Structure 1
Amino acid sequence: MERWPALELASTIRHDGEGGVADDLATAHGTTRWIRAQADLLGDCLPAGGITADEGLRAEITELRRAVRALFARVVSPAPPSPADARRLMPADQALAHLNSVAAREPVVPQLDWPQGGAPGTRLLSAQDDPEVRLLAALARAAIDFLSGPQREQLRACTAPRCVRYFVKSHGRQEWCKPSCGNRARAARHYRRQHVATDRDPASS
């Protein structure tokens, strides 16, 4: 299954499996763990020894996530956004300005790579030495690529009970982000149908 850094960032807010919401970026340690888990997606911008997040970097990534989730909510509208932040979404114009400003922190120049016998490709050559700035800018650019790409049309907020994830539909009939959410949603529907039928049947009272 394809992974997108922007979706991975948004998904650091998730259902905790017990009826609540977990935040993988709630601490600097959790943020460090998350950054290292994205090494395969962000390897070009991470130093060889990785990055150990402090509270400042954690706050920066969390604010970038707020912007990304606000723009995800704009994408899925008029359907409702994720319930995790539906009541405290960053305004869309503020989210857009923040995303663009973070992306602009790293000056980059496109370079053409064309190995002998291979196909030409591009890479970005950075003029920024600070690995934390490079990380933040890479995350912002990834969100810009995602939101301006074709996968935006398939972005959905999962409607399963207690789920707070966004996901990209992989086939036409997909309603939920993962099978366990589908099971939970179907069970909830069944319960509601049974409850309504019981309420309407006088013999059941």
Structure 2
Amino acid sequence: MRTRAPLLGEPLPVELMNTVWADRDGVHDALDEPAAVLAWLRAVAPGLDHVSLADLDALPPGDLDQLTRRLVRLRDALRRLAAEATGDPRSSAASATSDLQAAVTAVNEAAGALPRWSALVWTPGGPPTLQTRTSGQAAAAIVSAIAEEAVVLFGQDDRLRLRACQGPGCVLYFLKNHPRREWCSAACGNRARGARHYRRHRRPPA
């Protein structure tokens, strides 16, 4: 199973926000069942340096259900923070977490759920690398790691680069990484330009 969420190469907290996405049929949730959560995690696994695909595949059903609930709670909290940071006016993008303080609490609780530390990994003949270790199981570690990235994102100046995509019908967020970037993707930019062209050139009613 492949994830239905659009993957834009954004930081993991933003990719998690974008598991709520929209098309012509309306707004969708790419984390609406445990199998979909696993599909999304497999897709973003390269960004989870302390969790392997084997760890994910070995999760028992109870842990996977708990992981699904935790990720959705964190996702909704992050979308509330993103709306606050960007002044997002899109009603269709509104988070299920409506209260700002509840969103902050949810992110902080997730980030602090497990102790984490940096470990040096250096095998003979290879370069040294730094990896993150945790004291908990894979499911809890995933949520905690993404939440900690989110704390850094919103607590530092990167939040000033966060944007709510204004493409027609879009509910995604992105980090503005170029002065001329206006949309989450080229497809949204094309739709926005097409909509502007139509509004400019349509004939007034007779």
Identify the TM-score tier after normalising by the shorter chain: 0.7 to 0.9
Gaps of 5+ in 1: 200-204
Percent identical residues: 32
Cross-structure match for 1:64? 74
1:50 aligned counterpart, secondary structure? helix
Query: Could you tell me which residue of structure 2 aligns to residue 23 of structure 1?
Result: 29
- Secondary structure at the aligned position of 1:45 is classed as coil
Give the alignment partner of residue 95 of structure 1, picking from 91, 100, 103: 103
Q: How far is the alpha carbon of 1:185 from its aligned partner?
A: 1.1
Distance 1:49 1:125 in 2: 14
* Number of the residue aligned with 1:194: 201
- Corresponding residue of 1:168: 175
Give 2:41's match in structure 1, choosing from 35, 42, 46: 35
Bigger radius of gyration among the two: 1
Map Cα deviations across residues 105-155 of structure 1 (whole Å, 9 max, x no partner). Answer: 101234467899x99875443222x21111111111121122234432211
Tell me if the contact between 1:82 and 1:166 (Cα under 8 Å) persists in the aligned partners. no
Q: Which amino acid aligns with 1:64?
A: L
Summarize the alignment of residues 16-165 of structure 1 with structure 2, pairs less than 5 Å apart. 16=23, 18-46=24-52, 48-51=54-57, 52=59, 54-77=64-87, 80-86=88-94, 88-111=96-119, 123-128=131-136, 130-165=137-172
More displaced 10-residue stretch of structure 1: 27-36 or 2-11: 2-11
Q: How far, CA to CA, are the matches of 2:177 and 2:34 in structure 1?
A: 33
Task: Provide, for residues 79-105 of structure 1, a one-character-per-residue CA deviation record: whole Å limited to 9, x for no partner.
Answer: x24443327443111111110011111
Distance 1:41 1:184 in 2: 30
Could you tell me how far apart the structure 2 residues matched to 1:47 and 1:34 are? 12
Separation (CA, whole Å) in 1 of partners of 2:155 and 2:122? 26
Separation in 2 of the partners of 1:82 and 1:142? 25
CA positional deviation for 1:168: 1.2
Contact 1:82 1:158 in 2 (8 A): no
Verify the 8 A CA contact 1:156 1:169 in the aligned structure 2.
yes
Code of the aligned partner of 1:27: E
Partner of 1:25, secondary structure, is: coil
Shift in alpha-carbon separation, 1:34–1:2, aligned structure 2, 3 A: closer
CA contact (8 A) 1:19 1:162 kept: no
Distance 2:72 2:38 in 1: 12
SS at match of 1:48: helix
How many pairs align? 195
Q: Deviations over 1:54-94 (max 9, x none)?
A: 333212111110001111111102xx244433274431111
Question: When the two structures are superposed, what TM-score results if normalisation uses the length of structure 1?
Answer: 0.81
Contact in 2 for aligned 1:15/1:164 (Cα 8 Å): yes
Deviations 1:10-44 (A, max 9, x none): 1111123x342221101111111001111100131
TM-score of the pair, normalised by structure 2: 0.81
The alpha carbon displacement at 1:182 in A equals 1.2
